[in-house]
Amino acid sequence: MSDTPTDFPEEDVSKSIPNSPETHETSLPTVGETDAPQEPTRPSWTPAGEQVFASSPLVNDAPDDIVRGASPSFADEAPLSSQIRKSRTLWSTRLSLLLVAALVGGLAGHFASSSTGSNNGVTVNEVSASPGAAILPNGMSIPKLVVKVLPSIVSIDVKGSGGEDQGTGMIITSAGLVVTNNHVIAAAVQGGTITVTRSGSTKAEPATLVGTNPVDDVALIRINGASNLPVVTFGNSNALVAGDAVVAIGNALGLAAGTPTVTQGIVSALGRTVTAGTSTASETLNNMIQTDAAINPGNSGGPLLDSSGDVIGMNTAVAGTLANGETSQNIGFAIPVATIESLLTTLKAGESVVNHGAFIGVEIESMTPSLQQQYGFKVTSGAVVMSTISGTGAAAAGVRQGDVIVAINKTSITSAQDVSAVISSLKPGDVITLHVVRGTQHLALKVTLGRTPAG
């Protein structure tokens, strides 16, 4: 499946890319060092809220026609110079999760407190100076970053099928296209209603569903009759490394539409593969960003920002409780913007992806120049197998860690998202020919697809 350039002739999507590539050496396993299929860690997670699908994979290069640089509303913001940083670990640990999708199901509870009193003649020390702003590593203050980004963030309310869900969205074009999680708008697919409230406003505006992708948990809606709206700027999620500073924004707990919550943290890990779902269905999602920035129900669809205020991910889910009863702490997941960007063309065309539940049994990450350089891969594109799940069709066929998937049947594969798109169109029991590059070998492996495992 070849990358298709995003084409929005009448609308702008902003994109900023670091100025220079990054190279660093780390002490990591050699490709092909582990040949045997690996059994995944499968803790059981008890969510603290409604359970819904989380997100998906990818690390594609930005389409050429995406405008790079600051968003139109903030043209005076100078981009940061790029910094040399350590590269990330190739092989990710599989997490089989029942994630708390960052979505508020039903009306959120309201929490408030008040107190009254007088000084009763007591003298206290006071100052009139403003509190000091939190500062990010590059010198940008978080309040300044929030002021820059907030106008392009919306709270989303969806009513349908007797229920109500709330989440967040990001305005990506001046004509009102908004990207969010598919699970945020799922209740409206069968005839429900969607309204959005822009940050700083109390007015709920009607919106129309444009395209859905439940496989990758991404959807596109349009604010009816909108024009000249401020837009977010997409950053470079391919350049992220663990430890990068991030800020998450979203309609946490649905407490007050139009007044998003702001939290701060770092990138905890990259390339995570998770299994997320409801009690009736589940989805394996690749190449997720893990962060310790607080993500709560209602944050779904909101931005995960880098220290320049550019969007590098979409907040999607948070882990709950381990199988042994221990509660996880500060483990949230976001979809890289590279994944989102690769889906915009089909979403804008109104296409909807149907998942038939087929499962190949590999955890993958898109090939990048840094991965190729670090591990000596002989190909420049494809999906790198980070691990093979025992008991699956891939394991039975002999797929190994370090293999690079370059084609499935006669469809070329350039990214992890390509693999998901092809497999989602197939059914359990289908037999595919998986073309992989292993060192200098080109192999064709017959894989019988299984069924997506329950969370």
- Strands (E) across 5-134 are located at 14-15, 67-68, 94-96, 100-101, 104-105
Half-sphere exposure of 75 (CA within 13 A, CB side): 3
DSSP H or E stretch at residue 148: helix 142-149
Q: For residues 450 and 359, is the Cβ–Cβ distance under 8 A?
A: yes
Q: Which of 404, 234, 261 is nearest to 335 (CA)?
A: 234
d(CA 417, CA 56): 8
Would residue 183 show up in a list of annotated catalytic residues for this protein?
Answer: yes
321 DSSP assignment? B
Choose the catalytic residue: 14, 87, 199, 300: 300
Q: For residues 184 and 219, is the Cβ–Cβ distance under 8 A?
A: yes
Beta-bridge partners for 160: 163
Q: What is the 3-state secondary structure (H, E, C) of 323-366?
A: CCCCECCCCEEEEEHHHHHHHHHHHHCCCECCCCCEECCEEEEE
Euclidean distance between the first and the last CA atom of the chain, given in angstroms as a whole number? 28
Choose the catalytic residue: 216, 217, 310, 418: 217
Q: What is the DSSP pairing of strand 245-250 with strand 67-68?
A: unpaired
Interhelix angle 416-424/337-348, nearest 10 degrees: 40
Choose the catalytic residue: 14, 61, 87, 183: 183
Q: For residues 334 and 218, is the Cβ–Cβ distance under 8 A?
A: no
Would residue 110 show up in a list of annotated catalytic residues for this protein?
Answer: no
Catalytic site positions: 183, 217, 300
